[in-house]
Amino acid sequence: MIDCGEGTQLQLRRSKLKFARLNHVFISHIHGDHCFGLIGMISTFSMLGRTADLHVYAPEALEPVLRLELATFCRGLEFQVVFHAHPGGHALIYEDRSVAVYTIPLSHRVPSTGFLFCEKPVLPHIRRDMVDYLGIPFYAIQSIKEGAGWTTADGRVVPHERLVFPAEAPRRYAYCSDTTYLPRLADYVKGVDLLFHEATFGEDNRARAAETFHSTAKQAAMLARDAGVKRLLIGHYSARYTDERVLLDEAREMFPETQLAEEGMVLPI
Amino acid sequence: MIDCGEGTQLQLRRSKLKFARLNHVFISHIHGDHCFGLIGMISTFSMLGRTADLHVYAPEALEPVLRLELATFCRGLEFQVVFHAHPGGHALIYEDRSVAVYTIPLSHRVPSTGFLFCEKPVLPHIRRDMVDYLGIPFYAIQSIKEGAGWTTADGRVVPHERLVFPAEAPRRYAYCSDTTYLPRLADYVKGVDLLFHEATFGEDNRARAAETFHSTAKQAAMLARDAGVKRLLIGHYSARYTDERVLLDEAREMFPETQLAEEGMVLPI
């Protein structure tokens, strides 16, 4: 989960996602719309009998208040809330066998951090037709997926490349909110499959965006274009925009592959 | 405002009530569904430019966490959050010229307090027909409302009672949640115009109600009956009841003037 504003537990319930599958929460910065839902979600997990640790990656300023909230509201919690303070800069903060997560340094009124989720490369898929044709035994398949070829009974060597279909390219997702427009972010998010970037304002409020350390839709699109990302998702709109299509139009002029984030949206990558 | 669970600021916005008119928040106990919305609401008030003090009446255990939340999330707040720890027992905790608020000692898993809101008696209404008939001047009206009679130019004394309509009886509202069933609460809420009492469970879960220090709908109704209240409003239902009419039926059997509390309900007293 990335960020956890007030009411997140309700949205999570509406999403039908299994609560138990959530083990890592990444908090970008300590403004309320990004973290006030954490204590309520943790309380609810506790009431539902959770026992698995929950890892929270957040600015260090959040730790004392979260600790006191837990001590005050969640006595006898049967799982650990493991707090990981952001190390600053562009750093690896989480890794397992399928994904690595890096911080992206942003610039906002308080310390703010974006996140880059990098799927790890997966092995190529074995070609079933070749397995059948050559009579390759089951025990040999893993080593072929890992790069080996196959030598037939009559000594003919079939190279690895003929035995597999290439794996899908590892997917990458970047999340950048809240932040002023930072052209240098292009280095961190270069070529990602999906970039979420805040677009609090339109060009009509470009000065206000700079003053409040937010971005305009057009600036988000400039970043997407300069980083050569595949798709851009904009969100975090100011309440003054009752119709966000003006933001979408401004972004698409610069970067056509832009979409508006919506409540409850599911976006396959 | 009585209690402030997560998402209260959203409900407050939907209610169309003016945020600036809210100056006093009464928190019954420090379970999340009764207080997790406080920091978000205060943050939003701050962003909207509030300058008037906000008074919070709550169990003393809430103060350190609220103070740290304010220091962490609401730097430069332009209004005071004035914290009033519950004194315990049945005590006057707020008073102005139109209302007095008393605590009601409840019994829950953590210290929990109900609230009794007592409207102050208002002066009777002057009878315009008598004012016109007797030619009573404007300057005399306030003293008549306060109890005086009127002496006509020819010395005839018209008694106070003939010059006024009696005022409406002062209204009283009691809020009791969360609490185990406490028959002694009848003394505190005797004859109130409206009693809100929690009814977390039905009779099918009477044992569970006792274990968790909650009440059943029937118990709420027994209290309403024993206290001779005018109307009972039940709420705080366990999520296991998808249709709360079973709770309503059980309560009405004991106390017919019962209603189910609903999200966003407006109930004139």
What is the model's pLDDT at position B1? 98
Q: Which chain A positions have a beta carbon within 8 Å of B44's beta carbon?
A: 32
Give the minimum alpha-carbon distance from A238 to chain B in angstroms, rounded to a whole number: 13
Write down the ipTM of this complex: 0.88
Contact assignment for B9 to A6 by CB distance below 8 Å = yes
Question: CA-nearest residue of chain A to B38?
Answer: A36
Q: Whole-prediction pTM value?
A: 0.90
Q: For B137-195, what is each residue's pLDDT tens digit?
A: 999 999 999 999 999 999 999 999 999 999 999 999 999 999 999 999 999 999 999 99
Any idea what DSSP says for residue A25? E
The answer to whether residue A187 is catalytic is: no
Written as tens digits, the pLDDT of chain A (269 aa) is: 999 999 999 999 999 999 999 999 999 999 999 999 999 999 999 999 999 999 999 999 999 999 999 999 999 999 999 999 999 999 999 999 999 999 999 999 999 999 999 999 999 999 999 999 999 999 999 999 999 999 999 999 999 999 999 999 999 999 999 999 999 999 999 999 999 999 999 999 999 999 999 999 999 999 999 999 999 999 999 999 999 999 999 999 999 999 999 999 999 99
Q: For B96-136, what is each residue's pLDDT tens digit?
A: 999 999 999 999 999 999 999 999 999 999 999 999 999 99
Q: For B40-66, what is each residue's pLDDT tens digit?
A: 999 999 999 999 999 999 999 999 999
Question: CA-nearest residue of chain B to A31?
Answer: B73
What is the model's pLDDT at position A243? 95
Q: Which chain A positions have a beta carbon within 8 Å of B58's beta carbon?
A: none
Radius of gyration of chain B (CA): 23
Contact assignment for A32 to B40 by CB distance below 8 Å = yes
Q: Give a three-class secondary structure readout of chain B.
A: CECCCCCHHHHHHHHCCCHHHCCEEECCCCCHHHHCCHHHHHHHHHHCCCCCCEEEEECCCHHHHHHHHHHHHCCCCCCCEEEEECCCCCCEEEECCCEEEEEEECCCCCCCEEEEEEECCCCCEECHHHHHHHCCCHHHHHHHHCCCCEECCCCCEECHHHHEECCCCCCEEEEECCCCCCCCHHHHHCCCCEEEEECCECHHHHHHHHHCCCCEHHHHHHHHHHHCCCEEEEECCCCCCCCCHHHHHHHHHHCCCEEECCCCCCCCC
What is the model's pLDDT at position A265? 95
Q: Is A130 helix (H, G, I), strand (E, B) or coil?
A: helix
What is the model's pLDDT at position B43? 97
Contact A210, A219 (CB under 8 A): no
Proportion of chain A above pLDDT 90, given as a percent: 99
Query: A62-73 and B62-73 helices cross at what angle (nearest 10)?
Result: 160
